[in-house]
């Protein structure tokens, strides 16, 4: 026994020594659970994001005289029974007519669009056509043709199912895309994601043309040609970001949003909005509200009044999923654009809690972050209660400004990670929000470095109106 004691003691020592990392991991994991937050250990190789050169194949001008280019489509009505088709002709005005039909061999319908153009400093745009196809059948594949007078090009899209509470539908989430090699990787990953997004919810900052001298609007054109491989076939729902402002009084350009407004039309009037920068649509089982971070939203402003009237109108028994898109995030634990969304949060956050918004997607910060369900609405100037607190009636806030533009990644984070931040990572990527029925939606984020099917972050969403079970329980179970 005597001789075995040292050995036994040594063995105990080894036992604890070898299990120390495990114990430490357990302690850290417990601490992590208390914070509820995770900063990903994935470290992306630091490389400068570089814009693709003008002669890149993705910017190729389609062949043929006056061939339509930069084709993109978006929902053209409140409930998805219309689609707006947009394209640019460069050589001459050409026809604004769209031929369309449900058979590839018989485009039996036609609609007449409108054309616009604009000048920006020393740039003159091509002819920008917008044509809305109305009274479309639901859940049907339509073929359409543009450029019918000179060099016709044919595309297709699938209309959404009729609005209803249990209609499954899959949205893609992309933000701050730009036109770098990383942007191309993001778009390719989105296209090849086996989850198969049916409509992109785009959270602002499209081309980054304003980073070029005199906001070189040729880069608006190249961006339109780059994304055409997706935007011509499925609708992208547009949100305006700061890179859409193109406000440059030093070169005489004093009308904000001039290029964006001419190029990207949205169905704002259908939701009673007076401006294309804030509006709503209903698609499948989702009611989607788009807000404008760069238009006035103080009390009595048009946007404030519109949102105040809009939220009570959302019919959760028809569209249980209430999704908000905006550009500048309200909750952001990176050092970039820190608190830029704060004044809008102060104005609208209590409404989001009252009306139980499921999720808010934002961009602007070039990284990824997902929050817990939290709110910060108790503060009344004098009570000192100015910390976000768990709130199961509050939305999850997701920053998805990681499309890959030339400005590069936001890598500096505030430390320690705030408890409201559930997951954050400085990588480029995209996300999908896959609605299953009125109660469940599966959300996943995909980083560009992984295979197309890999989910770097994911979460089951339980609908706040139909199935508001406590999601925080999983962090402590
Ligand atoms: Fe931005």
Counting Cβ atoms within 10 Å, is residue 49 exposed (0-12), middle (13-18) or buried (19+)?
Answer: middle
For helices 342-354 and 302-313, give the axis angle rounded to 10 degrees: 20
Which position among 337, 364, 366, 430 bears the catalytic label? 337
62 to 153, 155, 294: CA distances (angstroms): 9, 13, 34
Ligand 1 center–CA 338 separation, angstroms: 12
CA angle 297, 298, 301 (to 5 degrees): 70
Give the three-state DSSP class for 226.
Answer: helix
Give the H/E segment covering residue 185. Answer: helix 181-192
Q: Give the tens place of pLDDT for each residue, 352-388.
A: 999 999 999 999 999 999 999 999 999 999 999 999 9
Say yes or no to pLDDT of 302 above 60.
Answer: yes
pLDDT score, position 41: 78
- pLDDT band at residue 29 using 50, 70 and 90 as cut-offs: very low
Per-residue pLDDT, 3: 33
CA distance 177 to 182: 9
Q: How far is the CA of 292 from the centre of ligand 1 (A)?
A: 12
- pLDDT at position 15 is 36
Task: Select 164-204+277-476's CATH number: 3.90.930.60, 3.30.70.100, 3.90.550.10, 3.60.21.10.
Answer: 3.60.21.10
CA 110 / ligand 1 centre spacing (Å):
38
Confidence band, pLDDT 50/70/90 cuts, at residue 473: low
The yes-or-no verdict on residue 472 having pLDDT over 80 is no
Local confidence band at 176 (pLDDT 50, 70, 90 cut-offs): very high
Closest by Cα among 319, 300, 296 to 308: 300
- What is the average pLDDT value for the chain, to the nearest integer? 92
Q: Per-residue pLDDT for 36 more than 60?
A: no
364 CA to middle of ligand 1, Å? 4
Q: Taking Cα atoms as reference points, which of 329, 331, 237, 250 lies closest to residue 282?
A: 237
Between the CA of 365 and the centroid of ligand 1 the distance, in Å, is 7
Quote the ligand 1 centre to 359 CA distance (angstroms): 19
What is the Å distance from ligand 1's center to 171 Cα? Answer: 21
Note the pLDDT of residue 471. 81
User: How close is the Cα of 329 to the center of ligand 1, in Å?
Assistant: 10
For ligand 1, the distance from its centroid to the CA atom of residue 242, given in whole angstroms, is: 5
| Four-residue CA torsion sign, 414, 416, 420, 425 | positive
57-75 pLDDT tens trace: 999 999 999 999 999 999 9
How far, in Å, from the CA of 94 to the mean position of ligand 1?
A: 35
Where does the pLDDT of residue 474 fall: very low under 50, low under 70, confident under 90, or very high at 90 and above?
Answer: low
Whether residue 210 is predicted with pLDDT greater than 60 in this model: the reply is yes
pLDDT band at 45 (very low <50, low <70, confident <90, very high): low
Q: Is the pLDDT of residue 13 over 50?
A: no
- Give the pLDDT score at 353: 98
Structure tokens at 194: 């086996």
Residue 467 has pLDDT above 60, yes or no: yes
Is residue 307 within 8 Å of residue 299, measured between CB atoms?
Answer: no
CA of 204 relative to ligand 1 center, distance in Å = 7
Distance from the alpha carbon of residue 284 to the mean position of ligand 1, in angstroms: 29
pLDDT in tens, 378-420: 999 999 999 999 999 999 999 999 999 999 899 899 999 999 9
Query: Is residue 10 predicted with pLDDT exceeding 60?
Result: no
What is the distance in A from the centroid of ligand 1 to the CA of 291? 14
Question: What pLDDT, in 10s, does the model give residues 137-164?
Answer: 999 999 999 999 999 999 999 999 999 9
Q: Are 230 and 191 in contact (CB under 8 A)?
A: yes
pLDDT the model gives residue 40: 86
Strands (E), 13-116: 38-39, 69-75, 83-89, 97-101, 109-112, 114-116
Active site residue 262: no
Region of poorest pLDDT, from 11-20, 96-105, 323-332: 11-20
Residue 366 CA, ligand 1 centroid: distance in Å = 8
Please give the distance, rounded to the nearest whole angstrom, from the Cα atom of residue 330 to the centre of ligand 1.
13
Q: List, in order, residues 6 or more apart from 84 with CB less than 8 Å away.
A: 73, 74, 75, 76, 130, 131, 132, 133, 265, 267
CA of 188 to the centre of ligand 1 (A): 22
Is the pLDDT reported for residue 132 higher than 80? yes
Provide the token pair at 362: 């934002």
Identify the pLDDT of residue 147.
98
What's the mean pLDDT in 304-322?
A: 98
Residue 35: pLDDT over 90: no
Q: In this structure, what DSSP letter does residue 355 have?
A: T
Q: What is the pLDDT of residue 476?
A: 38
| Mean pLDDT, rounded, for 249-275 | 98
- Select from 396, 370, 380 the least CA-distant residue to 462: 396
- Surrounding ion ligand 1 within 5 Å at CB are 205, 241-242, 364
Question: Average of pLDDT values for 231-248?
Answer: 98
Q: Is the pLDDT of residue 19 over 90?
A: no
**Three-state DSSP class for 42?**
coil
For residues 239-247, give the mean pLDDT: 98
Report pTM.
Answer: 0.91
DSSP 294: T
Checking if the pLDDT of 22 tops 90, the result is no
> Residue 187 to residues 200, 230, 250, 313, 447: CA-CA distances in angstroms?
11, 8, 34, 35, 11
């Amino acid at each position: 026994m005597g001789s075995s004691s040292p050995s036994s003691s040594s063995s105990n020592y080894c036992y604890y020594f070898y299990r120390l990392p495990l114990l430490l991991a357990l302690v850290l994991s417990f601490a992590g659970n208390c914070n509820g937050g995770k900063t990903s250990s994935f470290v992306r190789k630091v490389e400068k994001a570089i814009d693709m050169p003008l002669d890149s194949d993705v910017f190729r001008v389609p062949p043929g005289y006056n061939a339509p280019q930069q084709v993109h489509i978006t929902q053209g009505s409140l409930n998805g029974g219309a689609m707006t088709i947009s394209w640019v002709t460069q050589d001459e005005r050409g026809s604004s007519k769209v031929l369309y039909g449900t058979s590839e061999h018989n485009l039996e319908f036609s609609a007449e669009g409108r054309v616009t153009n604009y000048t920006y400093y020393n740039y003159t745009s091509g002819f920008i056509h917008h044509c809305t196809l109305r009274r479309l059948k639901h859940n049907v594949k339509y073929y359409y043709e543009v450029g019918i007078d000179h060099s016709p090009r044919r595309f297709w899209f699938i209309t959404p199912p009729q609005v209803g509470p249990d209609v499954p539908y899959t949205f893609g989430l992309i933000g701050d895309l730009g036109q770098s090699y990383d942007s191309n990787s993001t778009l390719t990953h989105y296209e090849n994601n086996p989850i198969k997004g049916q409509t992109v919810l785009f959270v602002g900052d499209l081309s980054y043309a304003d980073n070029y001298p005199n906001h070189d609007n040729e880069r608006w054109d190249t961006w339109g040609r780059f994304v055409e491989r997706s935007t011509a076939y499925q609708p992208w729902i547009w949100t305006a970001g700061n890179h859409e402002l193109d406000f440059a009084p030093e070169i005489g350009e004093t009308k904000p949003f001039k290029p964006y407004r001419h190029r990207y039309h949205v169905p704002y009037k259908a939701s009673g909005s007076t401006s294309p920068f804030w509006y709503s649509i209903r698609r499948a089982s989702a009611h989607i509200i788009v807000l404008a971070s760069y238009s006035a939203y103080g009390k009595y402003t048009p946007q404030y009044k519109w949102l105040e009237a809009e939220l009570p109108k959302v019919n959760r028994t028809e569209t249980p999923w209430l999704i908000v898109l905006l550009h500048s995030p309200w909750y952001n634990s990176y050092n970039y654009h820190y608190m830029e969304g704060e004044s809008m949060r102060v104005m609208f956050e209590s409404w989001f809690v009252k009306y139980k918004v499921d999720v808010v997607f934002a961009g602007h910060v070039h990284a990824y972050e997902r929050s817990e369900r939290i709110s910060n609405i108790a503060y009344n100037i004098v009570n000192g209660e100015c910390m976000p607190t768990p709130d199961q009636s509050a939305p999850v806030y997701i920053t998805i400004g990681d499309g890959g533009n030339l400005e590069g990644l936001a890598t500096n984070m505030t430390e320690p990670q705030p408890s409201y931040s559930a997951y954050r990572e400085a990588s480029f990527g995209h996300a999908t929000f896959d609605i299953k029925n009125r109660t469940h939606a599966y959300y996943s984020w995909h980083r560009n470095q992984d295979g197309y099917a890999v989910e770097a972050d994911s979460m089951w969403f339980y609908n706040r109106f139909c199935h508001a079970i406590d999601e925080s329980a999983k962090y402590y179970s």
